[in-house]
Amino acid sequence: MTDEFHGEYKVPGGKLVVANLNVADSMLTNVSISGDFFLEPDEALDRINAALEGLSASSDAATLEQAVSAALSADTVMFGFSARPVAIAVRRALAKATSWADWEWEVIPPSVLPTAVNVALDEVLTKEVGAGRRKPTLRFWDWAERSVVIGSFQSVANEVDPVGVEENGVTVVRRISGGGAMFMEAGNCITYSLYIPQSLVDGLSYAESYPYVDAWVMAALESLGIKAFYVPLNDISTDQGKIGGAAQKRLANGGMVHHVTMSYDIDADMMVQVLRIGKEKLSDKGTTSAKKRVDPLRRQSGMTRMEIIDAMISTFTARYGASQGALSQAELAEADRRVEEKFGTSEWLNRVP
């Protein structure tokens, strides 16, 4: 007895790849790859199908990709796709990889919470999504205090100036994802976290997953007249310079957090007092004198911070059919517990000397 499967993958900026196949005795059979891509010579398509025929239905994306690549001759021309999208389409057909349309999404609008609670919620909600107890969720942060959020593997001593922190009343916390330190003035950054199943990025490299997961926010910014793009690995820029950065963390239970902070209107003078590397970060931006601000989103859009957030929420909701959600009392209580036992402790903050 065989089962029939169908999967599709739209290459970002490229073409649609479709996989139709059967599974018999846990092996791929009757594999047929199609799509609106361009491929030369014609017989290369037969080679792709033959390369996938007989492979284990449990093959990971890398194995599928390698099989397709090995079957193609040096003169093969693939336009609008490659071996990797073929592997992703096959994995989607087998329900090993998923698309945005396979999930029900929720959006949690911003509400003011202590920065340490926001960081703790990233761990709590990622685990909830991975365990299947929460729908995949987009959550916007808000906070009242000046903050620095450092990456999981950064040294506090190397990143933060204790004198500047004390004089400016800055809260310093460590998050679970890697990447660099973020100086976050209340009301002057836009920060969000996406809690998603890792199957959504199955087959994608880390570098590919960042722009894929954030395609919706690029569309939202474009609707406001801001043409943004990723600079690998995790910087978000426009033709006028960097506007933000992203970080990710993947948990063992299948959940993943994708976290982004964008500058709306930051006091650059204060930032260089608080962050030890602030002067170096600003050295290529022409911001060398005091009392300057890093204000890309305010300046480039002419809109208020909340107007930009509302546009982001509207774009995400329209694109993915999301409904408005909320944090549960149990999730907030668990976040408070983790602040007490982990994220608010000196041991966690200073775990990297």
Report the DSSP pairing between strands 323-324 and 106-108. parallel
Domain count within the chain: 2
324: phi then psi, degrees, rounded to nearest 5: -75, 135
Quick check: 202 and 196 in contact, CB under 8 A? no
What tokens does 198 get? 């890792």
Q: Residue 13's pLDDT band (boundaries 50, 70, 90)?
A: confident
**What is the domain-level CATH number for residue 253?**
3.30.930.10
Together in a domain, 247 and 323: yes
Together in a domain, 244 and 274: yes
CA–CA distance, 208 with 88 (Å, rounded to integer) = 12
DSSP 98: -
- Tell me: pLDDT of 3 over 90: no
Q: Residue 282's pLDDT band (boundaries 50, 70, 90)?
A: low
Dihedral (CA of 276, 281, 283, 286) sign: negative
Average pLDDT of span 235-244 = 93
Share of the chain above pLDDT 90, in %: 90
Report the DSSP pairing between strands 241-250 and 255-263. antiparallel
Quick check: 38 and 80 in contact, CB under 8 A? yes
329: phi then psi, degrees, rounded to nearest 5: -60, -35
321: phi then psi, degrees, rounded to nearest 5: 65, 35
- pTM (two decimals): 0.91
- Tell me: pLDDT of 20 over 70: yes
Together in a domain, 334 and 208: yes
Together in a domain, 188 and 285: yes
Closest to 336 measured CA to CA, from 118, 21, 95: 118
- Tell me: pLDDT of 169 over 70: yes
Report the DSSP pairing between strands 106-108 and 137-140. parallel
- Structural domain of 39: 3-97
Together in a domain, 86 and 131: no
Digit-coded pLDDT (tens) for 108-144: 999 999 999 999 999 999 999 999 999 999 999 999 9
Q: How many CB atoms lie within 10 A of CB 160?
A: 22
Q: Residue 293's pLDDT band (boundaries 50, 70, 90)?
A: low
CA–CA distance, 273 with 161 (Å, rounded to integer) = 7
Out of 1-5, 194-198, 221-225, 299-303, least confident range: 1-5
- Name the domain boundary from 59, 82, 97: 97
**pLDDT value of position 288:** 47
**pLDDT value of position 287:** 45
Out of 127-141, 275-289, 330-344, least confident range: 275-289
- Name the domain boundary from 97, 112, 141: 97
User: Residue 51: what residue type?
Assistant: A
CA–CA distance, 207 with 214 (Å, rounded to integer) = 12
**Mean pLDDT of all residues in the chain?**
94
Q: Is 141 helix (H, G, I), strand (E, B) or coil?
A: coil
Bigger pLDDT: 188 or 286? 188
CA–CA distance, 348 with 23 (Å, rounded to integer) = 48
- Name the domain boundary from 42, 70, 97: 97
257: phi then psi, degrees, rounded to nearest 5: -110, 135
Q: How far is CA 78 from the centre of its chain?
A: 28
Together in a domain, 23 and 170: no
Rama region for 26: left / alpha / beta (φ>0; ψ in -120 to 50; rest)? left
